[in-house]
């Protein structure tokens, strides 16, 4: 039996074969700022950081966040914050910031030994 | 702390499975390796839309067309997650895009092969996304936090890509004689390039040792490739098709499939820019970027205008 299958070359075949290139693209005059995206996955839960994206303004950041982060119903509410407004703690200061809590075990309920009769406190 | 102490502390963190986050101290080479790998990965997602995009307007049914559009949109999203992860290491998006367009940055060579028939779309989903998933599942446990998180998100979306590809081939494999031939032909052309996706052999791969020590990678190229062969060699039986490798054989001792030698000359030729579609892929990316410039600039001008208006009103 003689089977013929059609292969389409249009739109997907090289004009010529060549290696390397010296292409230099022009620089954009401006760049869109970076935004951090927070999503509430369902009513009753906190907004959680999911990632970031570039957008010209808040409305565009919102639209892009919808398209990128909620294509499969991952959210019911979106917050967008321009990244430059976020102040982050410095990992090198972790010691001063978090270590003082280490020896304050009396802040935890398990520190207190109560008689068995006092259930569920 | 001295540099050596910093390095010891860093390695200890990694050995203890503590993730590295953007503001943590890290060796310069760790930063560079991650930037290179993550941005290459991002470029692959973006360029990867082109061979499949070629078939969106010619998909055989509305259902297949909707599926293909959804897949391409996912890949754009994957590119974005990865660019964002790379940006946290201090390289700007613009620099990364410029490196892609100048040819300095690489992307996965698989996307330099043409999509000649509709069956290629199925073969890409099954084999190419399938190979990518092996790598990506490993990377959900990579040591750099933002990269690992991006991978978790990506892996959730990838499994539909592979399944739709296999299902599409399954339909062809039960079709007319022409459809069956088309299915086999696509598998013949995509099989070897898919195996090449895992990169050079472990004995030839220069970056591998350090990347394993830093847990950027957690399995070697050859391990991943073997896992892939074992998986596909079983799945192809369901299709009733054949892989184009007469050395493919179950090895009872190794509990793995043996397979033939990859054509490494072809591999290096494509990496170096001499694949069938290298030139065209880059040209398509540059064109999109150049022709989109006025839109990007207009959007920013509009934002500036709104800002100055509202500050005038406030005054
Ligand atoms: Fe992807
Ligand atoms: Fe995919």
String of b and e for B228-241 (b: at least 16 CB within 10 Å)?
bbeebbebbeebeb
Nearest Cα residue to B106 out of B281, B292, B293: B281
Lowest mean pLDDT among A15-19, B43-47, B206-210, B267-271: A15-19
Give residue-wise pLDDT tens across range A11-28. Answer: 454 444 334 456 777 778
How many CB pairs below 8 Å do chains A and B form together?
Answer: 130
Distance from CA of B278 to the nearest CA of A (A): 8
DSSP letters for A26-77: PPPSS-PPEEEEEEE-STTS-EEEEEEEE-SSHHHHHHHHHHHH-TTS--SE
| Interface probe with A: pick from B24, B80, B145, most Cβ of A within 10 Å | B80
B130 has pLDDT over 60:
yes
| In the predicted structure, residue A1 carries a pLDDT above the cut 80 | no
Report the distance separating Cα B159 and Cα B126, nearest Å: 10
State which residue of chain A sits closest to B119, comparing Cα positions: A7
Q: What pLDDT is stored for residue A52 in this prediction?
A: 95
Give CA angle at B209 (B203, B213), nearest 5°. 155
Interface contact B280-A13, CB threshold 8 A: yes
Angle among Cα B161, B170, B195 to the nearest 5 degrees reads: 55
Q: Which residues crowd ion ligand 2, with CB under 5 Å?
A: B 129, 161
What is the spatial distance between Cα B52 and Cα B69, in angstroms, rounded to a whole number? 9
Mean pLDDT, chain B, rounded, equals 94
Alpha-carbon distance of B172 to B259, in angstroms, equals 26
Mean pLDDT confidence for B180-190: 97
A63 to A37, A55, B260, B303: CA distances (angstroms): 11, 9, 49, 15
Half-sphere exposure of B76 (CA within 13 A, CB side): 17
- Which residues on chain B are in Cβ contact (under 8 Å) with A11? 54
> What average pLDDT does range B7-21 have in this prediction?
95
Among B74, B117, B181, beta carbon nearest to A8: B117
Higher pLDDT, B4 or B255: B255
Percent of chain B's residues with pLDDT above 70: 98
CA A62 to ligand 2 center in whole angstroms: 24
Measure CB to CB from residue B282 to each of A8, A21, A91 and give the nearest one.
A21
Most B-contacting residue of A4, A6, A11, A66 (CB-CB within 10 A), to test interface: A11
The CA distance from A55 to B216, in Å, is: 30
**Looking at per-residue confidence, does A7 or A101 come out higher?**
A101
Task: State yes or no: pLDDT of B268 exceeds 70.
Answer: yes
* Residue B71 alpha carbon to ligand 2 centre in Å: 7
Distances (CA, A) of A78 to A58, B227, B278, B303, B314: 11, 39, 39, 21, 28
| Whether residue A117 has pLDDT greater than 90 | no
The whole-number pLDDT of residue B273 equals: 86
pLDDT of residue A22: 62
Cα–ligand 1 centroid distance for B136 (angstroms): 9
- Region B19-23: mean pLDDT is 94
Residue percentage of chain B with pLDDT more than 90: 85
The answer to whether A3 faces chain B, any CB pair under 8 Å, is yes
The model's pLDDT over B294-306, given as tens digits with 9 standing for 90+, comes to 999 999 999 999 9
Least confident range of B6-10, B115-119, B199-203, B310-314: B310-314
Would the CB atoms of B94 and A22 count as touching at under 8 Å? no
pLDDT of residue A15: 42
How far apart CA B77 and CA B175 sit, in angstroms, is 34
Print the SS3 string covering B253-303.
CCCEEECCCCCHHHHHHHHHHHCCCHHHHHHHHHHHHHHHHHHHHHHHHHH
pLDDT top residue among A6 and A96:
A96
Specify whether the CB–CB gap between B197 and B108 falls below 8 A. yes
pLDDT at residue A14, as a whole number: 43
Q: How confident is the model at residue B128 (pLDDT cuts 50, 70, 90)?
A: very high
Q: How confident is the model at residue A119 (pLDDT cuts 50, 70, 90)?
A: confident
**Chain-chain contact of B178 with A7 (C-beta, under 8 angstroms):** no
What is the predicted pLDDT for the residue at B274? 87
Specify the CATH number of the domain A26-89.
3.10.20.520
Which is it for the CA torsion B96, B101, B106, B112, positive or negative?
A: positive
pLDDT tens sequence across A63-105: 999 999 999 999 999 999 999 999 998 888 888 888 888 888 8
Where does the pLDDT of residue B236 fall: very low under 50, low under 70, confident under 90, or very high at 90 and above?
Answer: very high
| Chain centroid offset of residue A54 CA | 12
Looking at residue A13, its pLDDT comes to 45
On whether the CB atoms of residues B262 and B195 are closer than 8 A, the answer is yes
Q: Which residues of B touch A19 (CB under 8 A)?
A: 272-274, 278
Q: Scanning every residue of chain A, which has its alpha carbon at the shortest distance from the alpha carbon of B117?
A: A7
pLDDT tens digits for range B82-100: 999 999 999 999 999 999 9
The interface residues of chain A toward chain B in range 8-27, judged by CB-CB distance below 8 A, are 8-9, 11-27
Mean pLDDT computed over B65-90: 97
At residue A98, the pLDDT reads 84
Read off the pLDDT of each residue in B139-143 and give the average, rounded to a whole number. 96
- Note the pLDDT of residue A62: 98
* Strand, helix or coil for residue A90: coil
Residue B139, pLDDT above cutoff 50: yes
């Amino acid at each position: 039996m003689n089977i013929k299958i059609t292969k389409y070359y249009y739109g997907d075949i090289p004009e010529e074969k060549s290696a390397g290139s010296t292409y230099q693209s022009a620089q954009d005059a401006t760049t869109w700022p970076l935004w951090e995206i927070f999503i509430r996955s369902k009513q009753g839960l906190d907004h959680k950081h999911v990632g970031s994206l570039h957008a010209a303004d808040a409305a565009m950041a919102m639209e892009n966040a919808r398209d990128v982060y909620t294509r499969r119903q991952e959210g019911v509410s979106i917050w967008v914050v321009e990244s430059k407004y976020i102040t982050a703690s410095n990992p090198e200061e972790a010691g001063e910031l978090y270590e003082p809590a280490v020896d304050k075990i009396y802040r935890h309920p398990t520190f207190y030994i109560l008689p068995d009769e006092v259930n569920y406190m | 702390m001295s540099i050596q102490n910093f390095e010891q502390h860093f390695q200890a963190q990694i050995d203890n499975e503590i993730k590295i986050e953007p503001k943590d101290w890290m060796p310069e080479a760790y930063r560079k390796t991650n930037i290179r790998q993550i941005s290459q990965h991002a470029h692959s997602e973006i360029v990867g839309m082109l061979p499949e995009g070629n078939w969106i307007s010619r998909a055989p049914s509305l259902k297949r067309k909707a599926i293909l559009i959804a897949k391409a949109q996912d890949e754009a999203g994957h590119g974005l997650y990865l660019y964002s992860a790379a940006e946290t290491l201090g390289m700007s998006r613009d620099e990364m895009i410029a490196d892609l367009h100048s040819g300095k940055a690489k992307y996965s060579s698989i996307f330099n092969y043409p999509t000649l028939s509709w069956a290629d779309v199925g073969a890409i989903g099954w084999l190419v996304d399938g190979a990518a998933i092996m790598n990506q599942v490993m990377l959900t446990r990579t040591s750099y936090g933002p990269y690992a998180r991006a991978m978790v998100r990506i892996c959730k979306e990838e499994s539909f890509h592979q399944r739709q590809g296999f299902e599409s081939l399954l339909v062809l494999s039960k079709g007319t004689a022409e459809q069956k031939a088309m299915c086999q032909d696509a598998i013949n052309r995509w099989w070897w390039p898919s195996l090449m996706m895992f990169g050079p052999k472990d004995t030839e791969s220069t970056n591998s040792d350090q990347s394993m020590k830093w847990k950027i990678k957690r399995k070697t190229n050859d391990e991943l490739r073997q896992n892939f062969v074992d998986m596909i060699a079983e799945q192809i039986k369901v299709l009733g098709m054949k892989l184009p490798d007469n050395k493919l054989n179950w090895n009872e001792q190794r509990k793995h499939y043996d397979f033939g030698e990859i054509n490494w000359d072809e591999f290096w030729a494509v990496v170096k820019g001499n694949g069938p579609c290298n030139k065209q892929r880059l040209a398509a990316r540059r064109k999109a970027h150049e022709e989109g410039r006025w839109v990007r600039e207009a959007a920013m001008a509009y934002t500036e205008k709104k800002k100055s208006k509202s500050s005038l009103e406030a005054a």
